[in-house]
């Protein structure tokens, strides 16, 4: 990146707790601040401090004086050492004002100045979130890569003893090339006495949690309208979380656990406890735990108040609206919940976005306040001065088994709405003259058995240096190794006959579990709700026979490992323009290493389903905006500054009831669909990342 202002912006993601005047990029770069930017603590020492940190740097980036210093009183309620929650109304309001302030900076230099000035005066998590939202949405910061949250706040993602090891390694071994990779232990949150621990590899995966953070960053609920009001955002809230649940349920089957129980009763004890053990870097305390069999309570604290009864009232109103088939705004105007707009209206209303909800006074704030009640279950009236648990924070919520139970309940509301719509009919499902005659998924190029896919453990490493505040700075990266599920890359091959002129179709690939945890066959209705989207892409069909090939690594739901965990620093940035464009990623996307569920040792059985739908019913007329390099995971994340690129409702064709009794019949009735049995075999060994 040549422009030093863009460089400065990238640097502000590093070392979130350190003052802005300290060095960044492994001690190589420093921002030169106007004296008036120094906080009171350092105001009398500006010369000494800036001299100290500007020795031995390669680059000094001057920061402009601010035309007007902003009044930051609106953020005072959230202290620098408090936890920040996107589910908390007051915090969201503060973030909204800060995002508006950042978006309003008149040019790049003033944005850099504003960010540099505010960073040391605000809660660090609030700053990093609002700052990243602004970077993702300002037209002049398109080139700035958003540093992965697991690298900005690594303590939210990994077991804390690793930081002691990392600091020791960095302090003792000067040359970063000689340092060993410190090991992040796995399976450290509970023993196997806790059945839910079988899913820890999924819930506590770094890529899963950083995806979730990034999704909520791209789709905030508050802020300026141009940031919040995105095409089909309410529907995507439903769909992205619905897919997480489908995957979670399937993952449970793979581990001999039964389907999750939606948390539809807030008045009985919650059997699942969770002891996260991770540290919050803002206050250096562990996130509070929730004991087993905790009863949820009304929350009555200075930083949050919510009664369970209120959440239940909102739930009942939302369900009544679904049963009636319409919603009402504050003036009593009715909007029907139809098969196109309905799900989007419900998504924004249930999540809820106060600025997009059709009537937030009446339908309330159901999903967010559920997070709040659960996250304060251990200290609902703050008598113990504890902050919220992991459910209060989008970077950590997916670690807790209860996340899936709460979202399972939210998902059941959306599914109820979808079940009220007519089943898809032949005109919607079919594609005349197009037939899929062969389906296969196969590992590698050699003689692998078709339709047998493989998962295993892999040991990889991520660089934690950017987030190690007050750690060693002048000498390079600090790598931590961690073990995660991985799948052997594979290729899909489909033969498609086109009995007409050249035309375009959309290829939609899903895997549906065939059996439950007891190996019992699932009904189509269950398969439909647990169908996992694997990929979606456009295909050109020539007249006659066509062979469609697609790599698993090209999936429209996932992003590659390297995008989630790229090392920090100029040395790691590609130089060529096209590579740089690809590198300018958005970190939103399901981690490629969890594209496949784990399967099991015997080989877990799935239906691999493929459908070629009629592109003339799928296509979207895009506004004329520049191409975007973050398009890889568009099924889950949409496209930056563009419309969602598929006109069908998300999850099509499995988002609504289907006209057949089972999947075999469905595929038999529509030539443009096909399926085959697929086995996913899990091999219980750890392989080092090549
Ligand atoms: Cu993503 Cu509840 O919406 O955590």
Does domain 195-419 match CATH 2.60.40.10? no
Query: Above 90 in pLDDT, residue 246?
Result: yes
Query: Above 60 in pLDDT, residue 435?
Result: yes
What lies within 8 Å, CB to CB, of 503 at 6+ separation is: 434, 540, 541, 615
Count of C-beta atoms within a 10 Å radius of residue 166: 24
pTM of the predicted structure, to 2 decimals:
0.93
CATH fold of 4-144 reads Hemocyanin, N-terminal domain (1.20.1370)
Residue 242 in contact with ligand 1 by CB distance below 6 A: no
Atom of ligand 1 nearest to the CA of 241: 1
User: What is the C-alpha to C-alpha distance for residues 539 and 440, in angstroms, rounded to an integer?
Assistant: 17
Between β-strands 604-614 and 590-591, what pairing exists: parallel, antiparallel or unpaired?
Answer: unpaired
Q: What is the mean pLDDT of residues 199-224?
A: 92
Atom of ligand 1 nearest to the CA of 370: 2
Residue 371 in contact with ligand 1 by CB distance below 6 A: yes
Residue 367 in contact with ligand 1 by CB distance below 6 A: yes
- If you count them, how many residues does the chain have? 690
Residue-level pLDDT at 577: 52
Question: What are the boundaries of each domain within the chain?
Answer: 4-144, 195-419, 432-464+482-688
Query: Above 80 in pLDDT, residue 436?
Result: yes
Q: What is the mean pLDDT of residues 59-68?
A: 92
- Per residue in 664-674, pLDDT tens? 999 999 999 99
Same-fold call for 4-144 versus 195-419: no
Q: Quote the ligand 1 centre to 531 CA distance (angstroms).
A: 20
| Ligand 1 pocket mutation pick from 236, 374, 393, 407 by most atoms within 8 angstroms of CB | 407
Higher pLDDT, 368 or 464: 368
Q: What is the mean pLDDT of residues 403-411?
A: 98
Q: Where are the alpha helices (DSSP H) in 219-290?
A: 225-228, 233-254
Residue carrying structure tokens 């809230």: 237
Q: What is the mean pLDDT of residues 610-628?
A: 82
Considering only CA atoms, which of 410, 408, 412, 417 is closest in space to residue 342? 417
Residue-level pLDDT at 481: 86
- Per residue in 323-335, pLDDT tens? 999 999 999 999 9
DSSP 449: P
Query: Above 60 in pLDDT, residue 568?
Result: no
Active-site positions? 351
Q: What is the mean pLDDT of residues 140-157?
A: 84
Q: Quote the ligand 1 centre to 617 CA distance (angstroms).
A: 31
CATH class of 432-464+482-688: mainly beta
Q: What is the mean pLDDT of residues 571-593?
A: 63
pLDDT, the chain, mean: 90
Between β-strands 29-32 and 59-62, what pairing exists: parallel, antiparallel or unpaired?
Answer: parallel
Residue-level pLDDT at 566: 58
- Per residue in 13-23, pLDDT tens? 988 988 988 88
User: What is the C-alpha to C-alpha distance for residues 594 and 598, in angstroms, rounded to an integer?
Assistant: 8
Residue 212 in contact with ligand 1 by CB distance below 6 A: yes
Residue-level pLDDT at 232: 95
């Amino acid at each position: 990146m040549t422009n030093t202002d863009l460089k400065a912006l990238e640097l502000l993601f590093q070392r979130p707790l350190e003052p802005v005047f300290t060095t960044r990029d492994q001690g190589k770069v420093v921002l030169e601040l106007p004296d008036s930017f120094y906080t009171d603590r350092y105001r009398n020492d500006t010369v000494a401090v800036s001299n100290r940190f500007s020795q031995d740097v390669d680059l000094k980036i001057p920061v402009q004086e601010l035309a007007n210093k902003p009044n930051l009183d609106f953020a005072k309620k959230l202290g620098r050492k408090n936890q920040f929650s996107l589910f908390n109304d007051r915090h969201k309001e503060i973030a909204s004002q800060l995002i508006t302030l950042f978006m309003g900076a008149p040019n790049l230099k003033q944005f850099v100045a504003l960010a540099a000035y505010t960073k040391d005066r605000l809660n660090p998590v609030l700053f990093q979130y609002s700052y990243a939202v602004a970077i993702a949405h300002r037209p002049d910061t398109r080139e700035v890569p958003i540093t992965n949250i697991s690298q900005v706040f690594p303590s939210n993602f990994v077991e804390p003893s690793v930081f002691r090891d990392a600091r020791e390694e960095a302090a003792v071994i000067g040359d970063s090339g000689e340092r060993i990779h410190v090991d992040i232990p796995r399976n450290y949150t509970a023993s196997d006495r806790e059945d839910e621990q079988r899913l820890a590899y999924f819930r506590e995966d770094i890529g899963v949690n950083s995806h979730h953070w990034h999704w909520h960053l791209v789709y905030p609920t508050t802020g300026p309208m141009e940031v919040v009001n995105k095409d089909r955002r309410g529907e995507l809230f439903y769909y992205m979380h619905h897919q997480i649940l489908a995957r979670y349920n399937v993952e449970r089957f793979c581990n001999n656990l039964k389907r999750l129980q939606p948390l539809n009763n807030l008045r009985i004890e919650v059997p699942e406890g969770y002891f996260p053990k991770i540290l919050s870097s803002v206050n250096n305390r562990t996130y509070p735990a929730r004991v087993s069999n905790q009863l949820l309570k009304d929350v009555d604290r200075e930083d949050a108040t919510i009664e369970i009864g209120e959440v239940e009232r909102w739930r009942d109103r939302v369900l009544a609206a679904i049963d009636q088939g319409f919603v009402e705004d504050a003036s009593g105007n009715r909007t029907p919940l139809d098969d196109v707009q309905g799900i989007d209206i419900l998504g924004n209303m249930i999540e809820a976005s106060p600025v997009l909800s059709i009537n937030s006074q009446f339908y309330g704030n159901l999903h967010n306040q559920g997070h709040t009640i659960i996250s304060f279950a251990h200290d609902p009236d703050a008598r113990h001065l504890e902050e919220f648990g992991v459910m209060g924070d989008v970077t950590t919520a997916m670690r807790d088994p209860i996340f899936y139970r709460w979202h399972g309940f939210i998902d059941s509301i959306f599914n109820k709405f979808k079940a009220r719509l007519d089943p898809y009919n032949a005109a919607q499902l079919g594609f005349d003259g197009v037939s899929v005659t062969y389906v296969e998924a196969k590992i590698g190029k050699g003689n692998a058995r078709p339709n047998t896919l493989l998962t295993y453990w892999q040991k990889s490493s991520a660089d934690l240096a950017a987030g190690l505040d007050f750690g060693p700075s002048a000498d390079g990266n600090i790598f931590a190794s961690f073990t995660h599920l991985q799948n052997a890359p594979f290729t899909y091959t489909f033969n498609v006959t086109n009995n007409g002129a050249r035309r375009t179709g959309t290829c939609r690939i899903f895997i549906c579990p065939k059996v439950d945890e007891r190996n019992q066959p699932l009904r189509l209705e269950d398969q439909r709700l647990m169908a996992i989207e694997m990929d979606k892409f456009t295909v050109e069909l020539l007249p006659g026979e066509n062979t469609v090939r697609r790599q698993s690594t090209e999936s429209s739901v996932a992003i590659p490992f390297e995008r989630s965990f790229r090392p920090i620093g100029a040395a790691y940035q590609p130089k060529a323009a096209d590579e740089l464009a690809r590198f300018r990623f958005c970190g939103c996307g399901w981690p490629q290493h969890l594209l496949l569920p784990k399967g099991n040792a015997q080989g877990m059985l799935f239906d691999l389903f493929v459908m070629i739908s009629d592109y003339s019913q799928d296509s979207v007329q895009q506004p004329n905006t520049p191409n975007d390099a973050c398009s890889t995971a568009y099924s889950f994340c949409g496209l930056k500054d563009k419309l969602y690129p598929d006109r069908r409702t998300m999850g099509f064709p499995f988002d609504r009831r289907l006209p057949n009794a089972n999947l075999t019949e469905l595929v038999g009735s529509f030539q443009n669909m096909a399926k085959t049995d697929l086995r996913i075999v899990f091999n219980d060994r750890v392989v080092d990342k090549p």
